[in-house]
Amino acid sequence: MSEQGEIWHTEVDKVINKMKNEINEIKKNHRAILEKHLNEIKQIKSLIEENLVTLNNIEESNEVSKTVNYRTRLNEFRKLPPKVHVKMPTFCSKPINGEHFHEMIGSLKPFVLTSHENGYKMKSPEVSFREFLDIPETVSIVKTGYRHIRSISLNSEENIWTSGKVNNIICFNPNSKCKKTITTKSGEWPSDIAVTSGGDLVYCDFKMKTLNQIKDGKIEEIIRLCGWTPINLCVTLSDDFLVAMCSNDTTQSKIVRFSGYIEKQTIQFDDKGKPLYSGNSATKHIAENKNHDICVADCGASTVVVVDLNGKPRFIYSGYALESNTNHFLPSGIATDSQSRILTADSNNQCIHILDKDGLFLHFIKNIKSPHGLCVDKLDQIYVANYLTGTVKIVKYLKDIT
């Protein structure tokens, strides 16, 4: 090997050894940083697991004080450790100029480490959490002219469809102006009404045992029942119909899902073969949650029964004492809001119960006279049918998003 070649060989070895030392130092520093970051994450994970154990103990306990005294630690858990950004080493090549071999081949650029406090972001729900108003606000009162109002439903323009113990179904705007009137085909009052996503009105006719749809001003019979009488209905997010019905001898009740006129699902019994709903003709108002749970206010059983999309029972709510002299719970209407909370009218106690999606009681809206039928608009305002006054009360019960 020539003298020049030996020099080059020596210099190359020096550069390679220098790079090896730099890489080893990088590995050492990088490992220490990642281990520190991992330990911080493990610590937070351990705190979350401890909190879950606490919540499970509260759920299994019958002691109310544990629930009352529990304080959420969500804010603590949201403070995740700073996110680590590591830029891997980059080789910077340079032209060979014959004077300094190290400069001719180039050098290894060290890695760059940055730490951003807001690097991690908690996944936010689609809708920001909104707190309850201390005192709900009455937005307006719609006078329908009914002596007794039974059902209400909203279309996409938030026109209010109403029905009572007469054969007319009337549509109002929020200013009490009558926009349209439909007369039932049988001449009897409808047992319930609902509106499809396309804006078509659907109603149950208990006399003819049919489900009817008003399309382009014409009444079309879409479902006729045999041996069963329709009581209540709702339109799901997928535009299916959920129909509560009782047997003609009023000994059985069930919920049936229809896609158009095709029966897709029947919900009647729990896993042990026991009836989910009271076997009578009492109202069983239905609402579907954002998570596709099916929520039924069973007036005959004084319960709210919630099952999942497959009809598997999730929970049964039997009321929450407003005060020591509270009357027994009488659910007479049901609706869900944008955050999957369940709102249930209680006509015996002149109030509305609000539950979370898992059946935990959250709040009362008090002093609601004779509530019978509920729905919620896109602003999460609740529309309450007041049975005895024949009016619809529009109530704001959530604080504005700030």
Global pTM reads 0.68
What per-residue string of b and e applies to 150-172 under the rule 16 or more CB within 10 Å gives b? bbbbbbeeebbbbbbebeebbbb
Q: Cα 283 from chain centroid? A: 24
pLDDT in tens, 132-166: 999 999 999 999 988 889 899 998 767 899 999 99
> CB within 8 A of 140, min separation 6: which ones?
174, 175, 394
Could you give the CA distance from residue 342 to residue 41 in angstroms, rounded to a whole number? 35
Q: Tell me the pLDDT tens digit for each residue of 235-278.
A: 999 999 999 999 999 999 999 999 988 999 999 999 999 999 99
Of 315, 397, 347, the closest CA to residue 149 belongs to 347
Long-range contacts from 180-188, C-beta under 8 angstroms, 24+ separation: 182/214, 182/219, 184/212, 184/219, 185/212, 185/219, 185/221
Residue 27: predicted pLDDT: 76
Residue-by-residue pLDDT tens, the chain, 402 positions: 555 556 666 777 777 788 788 777 777 777 777 777 778 778 777 778 888 888 888 877 777 777 777 777 766 766 667 776 666 666 666 555 554 545 555 555 544 444 444 555 444 444 457 899 999 999 999 999 888 898 999 987 678 999 999 999 999 988 888 999 999 999 999 999 999 988 999 999 999 999 999 988 899 999 999 999 999 999 999 999 999 999 999 999 999 999 988 999 999 999 999 999 999 999 999 999 999 999 999 999 999 999 999 999 999 999 988 776 678 999 999 999 999 999 999 999 999 999 999 999 999 999 998 999 999 999 999 999 999 899 999 999 999 876
Asked if residues 149 and 136 have their Cβ atoms less than 8 Å apart, the reply is no
CA–CA gap between residue 269 and residue 279 (Å, rounded)? 12
- Domain 132-398: CATH architecture, name and number where available: 6 Propeller (2.120)
Delimit the domains of the chain by residue range. Answer: 3-116, 132-398
